[in-house]
């Protein structure tokens, strides 16, 4: 059963039929890591894993409570006029959406929802962005309002930054809201555009779960972002998007210089990767992904032992064209580009040979999915 079907069933058993189901996907980023908050480029795609919100209106749409039953976490009642920071941490993304969307005049009270997901949490597949985007999509739909994906994404990012307290970029929410089925998208995080890029037929994307989960990554994320900001101030430029390897060489602090070197070279790799994808050059695309991993490992220092282990195993597996960590880093999932004909053998081989801390790998061969949408009820 899909997340949407499970959420629908849960809503039915508590409250009867939902009015509709809103869904939003998780994502895997093919290349372009820690570039989004530097006004750079990323190349993510939406995954065929959703978070689903089975929704029905109930009571006063301005002031009435929202009752949310989550498959993983239990039930919570959120006061639309309350402080989102006061709710249990698992529900803060939802409380943030309720609070910030109301600032735009969208009624955010008076509803009930059952929430379920296919996206593992802490696995670098953007489960947080998916719940934000799914909830925004649901509340806009009820209000009869349509927003552009970038506006949905911006609100989700504000929830993350202002309510959850993570200074993340726009990538996760933007791809969850705006992805096009069958395509990855080159995201320009300065001009806030998505340009769909067709996945060549002879390669597939393998998402590889190390079984490790993120701990303490939030402090490290802020630390890396601060390093980028220091370099921008030192060089007197608008953002690292405007830097080159030559300008970066002048940065005084050696650690900050390495951080900036990653961002500058990663931006170029990402633009090159989109071009390689457009030209159907899967060998070049894979090579760039592998180079990205090395840069994240040495210059940005956001990889982790499980991620390095699975990337190394992937390189020795049949049909591997390239492999890298994906998302914020430290733990969770990695991604590989694999020759389509070898996909099954690749998956079996990685599962057989990956061995980190007694954990087992899980592999999903994924086609790019569509961005958030509203489904009727079954
Ligand atoms: C997390 C953040 C994104 C992005 C990535 C790293 O997923 O939410 O905004 O910065 O890390 O590329």
Give the pLDDT score at 217.
58
Residue, of 219 and 193, whose pLDDT is higher: 193
Residue, of 19 and 218, whose pLDDT is higher: 19
For residue 158, the CA-to-ligand 1 centroid distance in Å is: 14
Q: Cα dihedral sign for 194, 223, 252, 299?
A: negative
Model confidence at 215: pLDDT above 90: no
At which residue do the structure tokens 């701990």 appear? 215
Task: Retrieve residue 245's tokens.
Answer: 């390897």
Q: Where are the domains of the chain?
A: 3-198+369-375, 203-366
Residue 223 appears among annotated catalytic residues: no
For residue range 170-186, list pLDDT tens digits in order. 999 999 999 999 999 99
Mean pLDDT computed over 207-233: 91
Cα separation of 86 and 307, whole Å? 35
Give the pLDDT score at 22.
98
CATH fold group of domain 203-366: Alpha-Beta Plaits (3.30.70)
How would residue 216 be classed by pLDDT, with cut points 50, 70 and 90? low
Q: Give residues (CB < 6 A) around ligand 1.
A: 33-34, 36-37, 168-169, 171-172, 327-328
Pocket test for ligand 1, best of 159, 167, 171 (most atoms within 8 A of CB): 171
Write down the catalytic residue from 36, 172, 272, 349: 172
Give the pLDDT score at 377.
56
How would residue 167 be classed by pLDDT, with cut points 50, 70 and 90? very high
User: Phi first, then psi: what are they for 338, rounded to 5°?
Assistant: -130, 140
For residue range 343-358, list pLDDT tens digits in order. 999 999 999 999 999 9
Model confidence at 378: pLDDT above 60: no
Model confidence at 230: pLDDT above 80: yes
For 224-253, the three-class secondary structure string (H helix, E strand, C coil) is HHHHHHHHHHHHCCCCHHHCCHHHHCCCCC
Cα separation of 358 and 364, whole Å? 20
Model confidence at 136: pLDDT above 90: yes
For residue 169, the CA-to-ligand 1 centroid distance in Å is: 6
Domain 3-198+369-375 sits in CATH at 3.30.230.10
For residue range 241-259, list pLDDT tens digits in order. 999 999 999 999 999 999 9
């Amino acid at each position: 059963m899909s997340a949407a079907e499970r959420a629908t069933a849960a809503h039915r058993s508590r409250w009867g039929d939902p009015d509709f189901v809103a869904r939003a996907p998780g994502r895997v980023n093919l290349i372009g890591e820690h570039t989004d908050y530097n006004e750079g480029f990323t190349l993510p795609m939406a995954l065929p894993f959703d978070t689903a919100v089975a929704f029905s209106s109930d009571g006063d749409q301005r002031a009435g409570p929202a009752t949310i039953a989550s498959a993983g976490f239990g039930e919570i009642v959120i006061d639309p006029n309350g402080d989102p920071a006061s709710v249990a941490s698992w529900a803060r993304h939802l409380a943030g959406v309720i609070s910030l969307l109301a600032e735009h005049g969208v009624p955010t009270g008076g509803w009930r929802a059952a929430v379920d997901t296919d996206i593992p949490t802490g696995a670098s597949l953007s489960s947080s962005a998916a719940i934000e985007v799914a909830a925004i999509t649901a509340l806009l739909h009820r209000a009869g309002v349509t927003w552009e994906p970038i506006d949905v994404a911006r609100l989700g990012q504000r929830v993350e930054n202002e309510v959850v307290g993570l200074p993340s970029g726009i990538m996760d929410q933007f791809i969850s809201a705006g992805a096009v089925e069958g395509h990855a998208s080159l995201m320009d995080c300065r001009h806030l555009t998505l340009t769909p890029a067709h996945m060549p037929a002879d390669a597939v994307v393998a998402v590889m779960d190390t079984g490790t989960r993120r701990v303490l990554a939030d402090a490290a994320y802020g630390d890396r972002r601060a390093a980028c900001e220091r370099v921008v101030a030192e060089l007197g430029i608008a953002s690292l998007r405007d830097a080159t390897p030559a300008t970066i060489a002048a940065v005084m602090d050696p650690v900050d210089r390495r951080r900036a070197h990653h961002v500058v070279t990663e931006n170029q790799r990402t633009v090159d990767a989109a071009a390689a994808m457009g030209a159907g050059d899967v060998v070049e695309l894979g090579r760039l992904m592998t180079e990205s991993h090395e840069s994240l490992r040495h210059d940005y220092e956001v990889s982790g032992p499980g991620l390095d282990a699975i990337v190394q195993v992937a390189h020795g597996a049949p049909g591997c064209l390239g492999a890298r960590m994906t998302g914020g880093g430290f733990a969770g999932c990695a991604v590989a580009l694999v020759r389509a004909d070898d996909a099954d053998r690749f998956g079996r081989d990685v599962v057989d040979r990956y061995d980190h801390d007694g954990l087992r790998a899980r592999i999903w061969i994924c086609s790019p999915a569509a961005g958030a949408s509203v489904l009727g009820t079954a």
